[in-house]
Structure 1
Amino acid sequence: MKAVVLKSPFTVEVQEVPIPEISDPSDVLVRVERTAICGTDLHPYEGRLELEADLILGHEFIGTVEAVGNAVTQLREGDRVVASCVVSCGACYQCRRHQPGNCAGSRIFGLGIALGDLPGGQAEYVVVPSADISARKIPAGMETQDEDMLFAGDIMTTGFESVARAMQPGDTVAVVGAGAVGLCAAMAAKALGAAQVVVIDRVKERLKEAERYGAIAVDASEDDPADAVLDLTDWRGADVVVDAVGHESALVSAIALTRAGGTLSIPGVYTEEELTLPFSDLYLKGIKVEMGVAHITEYMDQVIALIQAGTLKPSGIVSHRMGLSEAPEAYRMFEAREATKIVLDPRS
């Protein structure tokens, strides 16, 4: 089968590798029909997350079940499924407390031995472990919404959780970063009843997309984001601020935008061991902080239902559709910020 393989920083190749096989009774084998490049994939691609050589990348994918382990009860051959990017055991202390992202045995597709040694989904086939917990059957009649359902396994659900865990209807929500997760967070905030959603970025095309979702766009290259948010909130600051970037500068900006007693939500991925932050602002303003690996399987069902109802339409963020064979160029474009979201077709 064809698969996108990381060779070294800034170098991926499409190679022929063996089709994976089911090794555990809880596994299913999925023939991948759509897969996507995620911002998290840039951590290994740019060399910020050191991984072993020849790793198959990717953790966003949908497809059809080709084979089923004998312990799987919720899925059968021929089912079309979307899988959570994070696989958890479903039985440990953390999972029983509905925090699967904190599962001691959690694994993430395409991020190497340190994160569970799961080959990724940027390939023609992928094995999904703990399938009854990790995968969801795509509802019948949703064949024309594959690109919406594709994102229920990661960015749409990550964006949804980032605001669902922090906001109340009527809140003002500010989102720092109009990449894929930031746009999904803005979309989710509107769906969950935010009175105002403010999206901050420097890329005009992304800000235009945010406006299409009903957000107020602030171009940080032209306006001071703090002044803009204060003007919109009677000088209180936003009730909820989402750092959807995962960079120290964005986090510092997010702290400045948050009102006293507000909540800072951090779905952006940080790999740095140390950051320099205005901790006195966090303390004196009494800001609550929500962060960590997303609890995808806790929110997937809600997100799928809202996609089915037409309330969430994350496919709008897709800027490019390319064949899996074009992955090296797709990664170059994505890393260069020439694309908001790229979907790859393993059949081409």
Structure 2
Amino acid sequence: MKAVVYRGPFEVSVENVPDARVEQPNDAVVRITTSNICGSDLHMYEGRTTVEEGTVLGHENMGIVEEVGPGVTRIKPGDRVSVPFNIACGTCRNCVAGWTAFCLRTNPTEGVDGAAYGYANMGPYAGGQAEYLRVPYADFNLLELPPGEEHENDFTMLSDIFPTGWHGTELAGMSAGDRVAVFGAGPVGLLAAHSALIRGASEVYVVDKEPDRLELAASIGATAVDFSEADPVEQILDATDGHGADCGVEAVGYQAHDPSGQEHPELVLDNLVKCMRTTGGIGVIGVYMPSDPGAADEGAKEGRIGFDYGTFFTKGQRMGTGQCPVVRYNRGLRDLIISGTAKPSFLVSHELGLDQAPDGYAHFDRRDHGWTKVLLRPSLAQAA
């Protein structure tokens, strides 16, 4: 089968790799209809992780079940499904408690709880930027979708970024009526803003500097804050009569940059602490790494991010972190899409064939104007 394979910093290629197949009784094989390029894939693409050369990438996947193992009883061939990026057993202590992002059984990597498809340190699982994908523990992990092709671009967001955006508002402790500050208008940040608005935020401020992304934020009813024009903290404080936001979402991660392009991994955390009121909450869904040899300072190379903890403590603020347990949210978010309440596909900019993935990665990584969310369709590659 064809798949997108990591070959080194800034290099991916589309290659023939062994077909995905049933390896365990509880496996399913899914024929991929849509797989997305995620912003977190770019950390690997840029060589800022320990991902191994030859890894098949892609953790945002959906498709049609092609085959199931003899131990699969709920899911059947022909089902249209969303594949959560978490690979979870469903029965360990963390899974039973609803923390499927930290499954204790699926990742043999020492010191790491939780597994995912096609991602550094997240286990030996091939990704879904391919024609087919093996899904372990299929009965637990797969979310059934209505048959057909309706809502394809919306449903493809259920594997990661829509639940992750929603999770950011949960980690922040958001309540209806809150003023919410979202730093980062990439796909996850935009869907955190979308989630906050669905949940009844009175105002959502989205901070970025890319005009196309800020335009998308404004298009869903958020207030765009351009940090290249003025200090975002001052802009948010001015907009809230000096009170600050009630809570905030960090959707940037460890490669945060200032307007000049200099990297400051603590920048967004500092800004959130400053622009939030006392006792406000911060949800951190941007990726941070325990080690980053390419970091801007020595501490950050060891995963030590020196943000303004003193002010954070003095203001009595709180912080929630970590990858999203997708299964906790995806069923409800699916139904919000079906009802018309949610439309996460507003951020889709490009739908490409699998063979066009290297070009899609390059444009998305450069933040080229108009490249806000890239979907990969194996069927388009086959048609070409």
Taking structure 1 as the reference length, what is the TM-score of the superposition? Answer: 0.97
- Residue 270 of structure 1 is matched in structure 2 by 288
Corresponding position of 1:334: 364
One-letter identity of the residue aligned with 2:159: G
| Equivalence for 1:163 | 169
- Structure 1 residues 203-218: aligned runs within 5 Å: 203-218=210-225
Separation (CA, whole Å) in 1 of partners of 2:33 and 2:322: 29
Deviations 1:133-169 (A, max 9, x none): 211011246x221010001010011001111342000
Match of 1:305 among 335, 354, 370: 335
Contact 2:93 2:104 in 1 (8 A): no
Say which of 290, 309, 315 aligns to 1:279. 309
**2:344 counterpart residue number:** 314
In structure 2, what is the equivalent of residue 251 of structure 1? Answer: 269
Q: Report the AA paired with residue 278 of structure 2.
A: A
Q: Which structure 2 residues correspond to residues 5-44 of structure 1 after superposition, within 5 A? A: 5-44=5-44
Gaps of 5+ in 1: none
**Matched residue of 2:224: which SS?**
strand
Give the residue type in structure 1 aligned to 2:126: P
1:246 offset after TM fit, Å?
A: 0.4
Structure 1 distance, partners of 2:210, 2:61, is 27
Partner of 1:198: 205
TM-fit CA distance, 1:202: 0.3
Per the alignment, residue 131 of structure 1 pairs with 138
- Would you say 1:110 and 2:118 are equivalent positions? yes
Give SS of 2:206's match. Answer: strand
Name the structure where strand makes up a greater proportion of residues: 1
Corresponding residue for residue 291 of structure 1: 321
Structure 1 CA distance for aligned equivalents of residues 84 and 249 of structure 2:
22
1:1-34 Cα distance to aligned partner (Å, 9 max, x none): 1100001111111001121111111111000011
Whole-Å separation in 2 of the counterparts to 1:172 and 1:302: 23
- Which of 355, 360, 370 is 1:325 aligned to? 355
Q: Which amino acid aligns with 1:195?
A: S
Counterpart mapping for 1:45-64 below 5 A = 45-64=45-64
Alpha-carbon distance in structure 2 between the residues aligned to 1:231 and 1:306: 34
1:240 corresponds, among 244, 247, 257, to 247
**Is 1:346 the counterpart of 2:354 in the alignment?**
no
One-letter amino acid matched to 1:89:
C
Structure 1 residue 116: Cα displacement:
1.4
Q: Distance in 1 between matches of 2:338 and 2:165?
A: 17
**Helix, strand or coil: the match of 1:94?**
helix
Counterpart CA distance in 1 for 2:98 and 2:352 is: 37
| Corresponding residue of 1:225 | 232
Find the counterpart in structure 1 of residue 296 from structure 2: none
Residues 106-151 of structure 1: per-residue CA shift (max 9 Å, x gap) = 2100014x3111100000000111112211011246x221010001
- Percent identical among aligned pairs is 40
Q: Which amino acid aligns with 1:321?
A: E
The residue identity in structure 2 corresponding to 1:67 is E
Residues 191-226 of structure 1, C-alpha deviations (whole Å, 9 max, x = no match): 001111111110111111001111011111112211
- Aligned amino acid, residue 140 of structure 2: I
In structure 2, how many angstroms separate the alpha carbons of the residues matched to 1:255 and 1:24?
A: 47
Quick check: 1:199–1:207 contact (8 Å CA) kept in 2? yes
Shift of 1:332: 0.6
For the 8 Å contact 2:87–2:115, the answer to whether it is kept is yes
Q: Which amino acid aligns with 2:324?
A: A
For 2:82 and 2:202, the matched residues in 1 are separated by 31
Residue identity matched to 2:377:
D
| 1-structure distance, mates of 2:375, 2:201 | 29
**1:184–1:314 Cα contact (<8 Å) kept:** yes
User: 1:255 is aligned with what amino acid?
Assistant: V
How many correspondences in the alignment?
346
Q: Secondary structure at the match of 2:5?
A: strand
Q: One-letter code of the match for 1:19?
A: D
Q: Secondary structure of 2:40's match?
A: helix
Distance (Å, rounded) in 1 between the aligned partners of 2:67 and 2:347:
32
Contact 1:236 1:260 (8 Å CA) reproduced: no
1:146 aligns with 2:113: no
What amino acid maps onto 1:110 in structure 2? Answer: G
Amino acid at match of 1:87: I
| More displaced stretch, 214-223 vs 100-109 | 100-109
